[in-house]
Structure 1
Amino acid sequence: MNWSLLRLGGFRALWSGRLLSWIASGIGPLALAFAALDLGAGASGLGLVVAARSVPNLLLILFGGTLADRLPRRTVAIGASALSALSLAGMALLLATGMATLPLLAVAGALNGIGAAYFAPATSAMLRETVGDDLVRDATILNRVSMNIGLVLGTAGGGGLVGSFSPEIALAVGSLLFTGALAFFAGLPRASFVSPRRVSFARDLALGLAFVARTRWLLWTLLLALLGQLAFAAGVQVLGPIAADHSFGRTLWGFAGAVQTVGLVFGAVLAGRIRGRLRLAIASLGVAGMALPLLILALVLVVHYGVVDPLHWFFWLSVALFAASVGLELFTVPLDVTIQLQVPRTYLARVYSCLTLATLAGMPLGEVVAGPLARLVGAPLLLTGLAVLVMLAAGAVALSPRVRRADSALVAPGPVPR
């Protein structure tokens, strides 16, 4: 990886601000959940408080991308960071003064989710502005590494702060991190790219969606991201704990999840070593790796307990989760690079908002359908079906002529297919 890029002032400010923001984004939801539990929330109340943050993020992400394509992206990033910092500080203050209630936590969580919806598209679209086209590939890899490390540190650090101190302390630390990110974003050059506003906001939003729909390589890869996250959420997040209880237990399930997050970091580093030698079509096959843990979990549920040592299942599941994370990163990095270099700057933030929406929407969809489908066909068959779906989708995208030619202009002259 080209760490020398951090010598560039604009990229260093963007990279550092995103790193602090991702750490804070890992702390915030975890501390919010435990704060709700401390206020006596049951499963339903906790679900409502958590949803109060995630639903606005999901609903407003397209608006965030459109706004970032109309206004200076530096301004949008600063505003989103300020809103996120204030929302976490407000939660911490409410808890510290004893004034917190579940509805108030939900409102503060919703404000935090709104900030996240505007932060991601704006900061992703600024990358090309800070380094130029020639260094986009290296900058993308460093951004992915910072995001994965930030989320790991945020989740682990948030748990440590909540366990050692209290949720309000964790929320206060998250607020300070967002404030630090705001300061870095304020140091970005003011001459950021701004699209001329010739049409209304609604028209800009519609034009962005139409661009994604007619740019077929982009549409197919976004659908692949959606299906991959849907299958993974349904199989691993919902049915995975059931399989763990059936075999190796809850403690080892947590360790397997930690291995999965390490795979994300390793995958980004590996993508950095491969650099431009991995084309988008081949990288799409990396999503097929997400089928591996689904198949292992199906076997855990099918094979009678005691026939296979539970520790063996834990080992192979950990390997599969690690491989799935690596494969996902090997797909995401070339996709990010292709988007940065092939999508016109006037559409960049809206395209990234669509990519984020595809990823975010896939998870709740998978979590919702997992239970009813498992009752209908059985968990092992559902897991196998999801694995087959992911492999077929990855293969179809990899074989698509439009996807295979999508990044051809990055290695040879020629028009981008649509």
Structure 2
Amino acid sequence: MDNLSLKIPLRLQRFLLGYSGTSLATGLQVILLPWIALTVVNLPALQLGWVQASVLLPNLLLLLFGGAVADRRDPAVVSALACFGLSLCHTALLLCFTLSVISLPVLLAYGICLGICSAFLQPSRDNLVQRSAHNPKGRSSERCVQTTVTWMMLAQYGGQAAGMLLASRFDQWGLEFLLGVQIAALLLSAVFLLSLRERDVSVDVVEQRPHALILDGLSQTWRRPVLRELTALMAFNGFVHIGVFLVVLPLLAEGYGRGASYYATLQLAFVAGTVTATVTMLRRGQGPEPGRGILMCLLYSAALLVAISFGPTPLGLILLCLCWGAVAAASAGLGRGIVQLLAPADYRSRIISIYQLALFGSAALGALAAGVLSEYAAPLTTLLWAGILSFVAFVLAAVSGALRRIKVPDSTA
């Protein structure tokens, strides 16, 4: 219980409130944007895909640049400005809805602006972990960073779940109210994140071209075997695991013939697993060998994918999704903790953006690959191949040994 303190320091409270507010807005956005496209604008499936891509593509294209900016400026200021930009995006959409001028071009412009602001928010917000980490007497700074990362993950999953639950009341509360909640959450998040700025920190003002900053961050990642292996493994997770989750899971839910409510139940089971795993890590810590934990999560993922490929019962699939969420949250928390510990301070935002780009950029490609494979074979076959590939990746990573050899000391002077 020593890792789950009842008294959270004020600085960490502000960080978690800011992080959970942005996550709540994201949870709302995930549901509201496609729902607006389908029910308000009545877009067909192909145009819905364009709207979804309008959010994702700018984020992926500018993520590395956003990390470079956060390394050259105070990340608290960058993240607060990004929150303010997102609130302006939602305010503009609210105005368009009020004036009844929402259309496909409006949604595309809205999605592009969301993607641009998110590209600056993600790396700068995660860079504030070190600044927010609390170091009580007798605890190592490494363990404090790990605990702060776990708190951050809990704020992320909890905020997103709350946002999704709010969005589920769309028919009762209406779009205006939910957009207002998004705007308020982001403005409050901007205030909390801005309060973490450090006025007396001198920033290196040596100017470099953006591409030079990005290449420098890539070089720093490549020089460190652990970060290099971790980034490659996260790219694999995004391509195989997230890609399969996005495409195959709804296909399986449809195959069971239980309607959209069953698919929502699977999603909630996955979220429940992420929250359970995160709370467990808060109580027990991430452990002295986080790299071994990531490898074991990869092995567990392989076993879960193979188990689902055998076609479980509807209840069995819900339970397996619960376990899948727990494994995914544990792997994500351990990976982000390692990045926070090993990334040099001057390059931290860039390395975080590289890590995120590897994970989510490959997820987009993995979703396409999973869709193609599921089109020509059964979705269960796609899951089986994903499980086999995960086992192969586990063996290769274990043989390499870079992640396996990471050790976090119990205490430091």
1:295 aligns with 2:315: no
TM-score for the superposition, normalised by structure 2: 0.90
Tell me the matched-pair count.
399
The answer to whether the 8 A contact 2:288-2:409 is kept is no
The residue correspondences of 1:139-218 to structure 2 (distance < 5 A) are 139-160=148-169, 162-191=170-199, 196-198=204-206, 199-218=208-227
1:165-224 C-alpha deviation (Å, 9 max, x unpaired): 322332221111101111112222423756524333221111001111222211222222
In structure 1, runs of 5+ residues without a counterpart are 301-311, 414-418
- CA–CA distance in 2 between the matches of 1:275 and 1:185? 25
CA RMSD of aligned residues (A): 2.2
Residue from 251, 269, 282 that aligns with 1:242: 251
Q: In the alignment, residue 187 of structure 2 is paired with which amino acid?
A: T
- CA–CA distance in 2 between the matches of 1:339 and 1:269? 20
1:255 aligns with 2:265: yes
Question: What is the match of residue 264 of structure 1?
Answer: 274
Question: What is the match of residue 72 of structure 1?
Answer: 74
Note closer, same or farther for the CA distance 1:192–1:50 as it changes in structure 2 (3 Å cut): farther
Question: What is the match of residue 338 of structure 1?
Answer: 338
How far the C-alpha of 1:296 sits from its partner, in A, is: 3.8
- CA–CA distance in 2 between the matches of 1:238 and 1:166? 29
1:14 aligns with 2:15: yes
1:315-357 C-alpha deviation (Å, 9 max, x unpaired): 2222222222212222222222222222210111111111211
- CA–CA distance in 1 between the matches of 2:196 and 2:63? 23
- CA–CA distance in 1 between the matches of 2:397 and 2:388? 14
In structure 2, runs of 5+ residues without a counterpart are 136-140
| 3-state DSSP of counterpart to 1:41 | coil
**Which deviates further from its counterpart, 144-153 or 53-62?**
53-62
How far the C-alpha of 1:253 sits from its partner, in A, is: 3.0
How far the C-alpha of 1:372 sits from its partner, in A, is: 2.2
- CA–CA distance in 2 between the matches of 1:228 and 1:288? 12
How far the C-alpha of 1:25 sits from its partner, in A, is: 1.0
TM-score for the superposition, normalised by structure 1: 0.89
The residue correspondences of 1:242-391 to structure 2 (distance < 5 A) are 242-247=251-256, 249-250=258-259, 251-284=261-294, 285-300=296-311, 313-391=313-391
| 3-state DSSP of counterpart to 2:382 | helix
- CA–CA distance in 2 between the matches of 1:192 and 1:410? 31
Question: What is the match of residue 64 of structure 2?
Answer: 62
1:27-74 C-alpha deviation (Å, 9 max, x unpaired): 123212222221121112211112111211121111111110011111
Note closer, same or farther for the CA distance 1:73–1:241 as it changes in structure 2 (3 Å cut): closer
How far the C-alpha of 1:124 sits from its partner, in A, is: 0.8
The answer to whether the 8 A contact 1:27-1:155 is kept is yes
**Which deviates further from its counterpart, 217-226 or 138-147?**
217-226
- CA–CA distance in 2 between the matches of 1:236 and 1:203? 35
**Which deviates further from its counterpart, 254-263 or 285-294?**
285-294
- CA–CA distance in 2 between the matches of 1:206 and 1:5? 41
**Which deviates further from its counterpart, 369-378 or 203-212?**
369-378
The answer to whether the 8 A contact 1:61-1:357 is kept is yes
How far the C-alpha of 1:121 sits from its partner, in A, is: 0.6
1:103 aligns with 2:105: yes
- CA–CA distance in 2 between the matches of 1:167 and 1:400? 51
1:226-251 C-alpha deviation (Å, 9 max, x unpaired): 22232224433322333333335333
- CA–CA distance in 2 between the matches of 1:387 and 1:232? 9
How far the C-alpha of 1:376 sits from its partner, in A, is: 4.3
Note closer, same or farther for the CA distance 1:111–1:279 as it changes in structure 2 (3 Å cut): same
- CA–CA distance in 2 between the matches of 1:178 and 1:287? 34
Question: What is the match of residue 28 of structure 2?
Answer: 27
- CA–CA distance in 1 between the matches of 2:398 and 2:7? 31
- CA–CA distance in 1 between the matches of 2:400 and 2:7? 34
- CA–CA distance in 1 between the matches of 2:333 and 2:379? 32
Higher helix share: 1
- CA–CA distance in 2 between the matches of 1:293 and 1:237? 16
**Which deviates further from its counterpart, 207-216 or 190-199?**
190-199
The answer to whether the 8 A contact 2:269-2:325 is kept is no
Note closer, same or farther for the CA distance 1:150–1:16 as it changes in structure 2 (3 Å cut): same
The answer to whether the 8 A contact 1:281-1:399 is kept is no
Question: What is the match of residue 87 of structure 1?
Answer: 89
- CA–CA distance in 2 between the matches of 1:294 and 1:362? 19
- CA–CA distance in 2 between the matches of 1:399 and 1:248? 43
| 3-state DSSP of counterpart to 1:277 | coil
| 3-state DSSP of counterpart to 1:6 | coil
Q: In the alignment, residue 147 of structure 1 is paired with which amino acid?
A: Q
- CA–CA distance in 1 between the matches of 2:4 and 2:199? 25
Residue from 132, 137, 142 that aligns with 2:146: 137
The answer to whether the 8 A contact 1:93-1:168 is kept is no
| 3-state DSSP of counterpart to 2:404 | helix
Give the fraction of aligned pairs with identical amino acids, expressed as a percent.
20
Q: In the alignment, residue 187 of structure 1 is paired with which amino acid?
A: S
Note closer, same or farther for the CA distance 1:202–1:194 as it changes in structure 2 (3 Å cut): farther
Q: In the alignment, residue 252 of structure 1 is paired with which amino acid?
A: Y
